[in-house]
Amino acid sequence: MENDRRSTAQAQAQDTAQAQAPSGIPQPSPARRAEFARITNETDIVLRVDLDGTGETDIATGIPFFDHMLDAFGRHGLFNLAVAAKGDLEVDAHHTVEDVGIVLGQAVASALGDKRGITRFGSSLVPMDEALLLAACDLSGRGQLHYEVKLPIEIIGNFDTTLVKEFLVAFAGNAGLTLHVRSLAGENSHHIIEAAFKAVARALSAAVAVDPRIVGVLPSTKGTLS
Ligand SMILES: [Mn+2]
């Protein structure tokens, strides 16, 4: 009751005092970014990711359609993402796409650290014209992909669309991410795949978000997300 009758001046003074108090104010979390390099006989990849970015991307994999998808992933997840990949494209795009998935997964896992204070779960529904894609994820530590995406055609430009699943398997496995991706509607394969990348990005963006109500808390009843 007393608080209800406080004067405007008192209220402002109290609010100012609260705003300036060091305790109770969520502190800025440490930088959540990572840089990984991976060199094999098949690919040479350098990747940087910042989970708290603004969607700035710098992508060069030598595979234009894949560049387009990674660009969409960064922009719509609001991750800053730089990928420089040189792969054995004279064989085909398989090694390059899969290995970028591996390195992106490793980098996201590293950037997350011990996962304290994160939302953990995320989901999104993303339309692109007639296509409608669902993605749902859990940063469970158990990397697994459940993929039900119907694609009318197998090749876009010269991109083999079966590689989308290979990318997501590698990404989810290395990020420790339980990831479900489903196409609920769609006729154009470009639309379906692009909506899938955007949906995964938006779901992941929600899952990695810091929740100020659980600063320093691991969101697990089990006590581990590893
Ligand atoms: Mn497009």
Q: Cα(68) to centroid of ligand 1, in Å?
A: 7
pLDDT of residue 24: 55
Global pTM value: 0.87
Q: Cα(3) to centroid of ligand 1, in Å?
A: 55
Is it the case that residue 20 has pLDDT exceeding 50?
no
Helices 189-208 and 163-175: crossing angle, nearest 10°? 10
Domains of the chain, each with CATH number or no CATH:
33-213 (3.30.230.40)
Q: Tell me which residue of 141, 216, 213, 214 sits closest to 179, measured CA to CA.
A: 141
Q: Tell me which residue of 218, 28, 31, 224 sits closest to 116, measured CA to CA.
A: 218
* Measured CA angle at 104 (ends 137, 192), to 5 deg: 55
Q: Cα(77) to centroid of ligand 1, in Å?
A: 16
For residue 74, the one-letter residue type is G
Alpha helices in the chain (DSSP H): 8-20, 64-77, 94-112, 163-175, 189-208
The whole-number average pLDDT for the span 51-74 is 98
pLDDT of residue 30: 76
* Average pLDDT for the chain: 90
The whole-number average pLDDT for the span 152-162 is 95
pLDDT of residue 106: 98
* Confidence grade of residue 18 (pLDDT, cut at 50, 70, 90): very low
Please list, in sequence order, all residues whose beta carbon lies within 8 angstroms of the beta carbon of residue 213, skipping any fewer than 6 positions away: none
Report residue 50: phi and psi, to 5°.
-125, 115
Encode pLDDT of 184-206 as tens digits: 999 999 999 999 999 999 999 99
Q: Cα(191) to centroid of ligand 1, in Å?
A: 7
The whole-number average pLDDT for the span 127-147 is 98
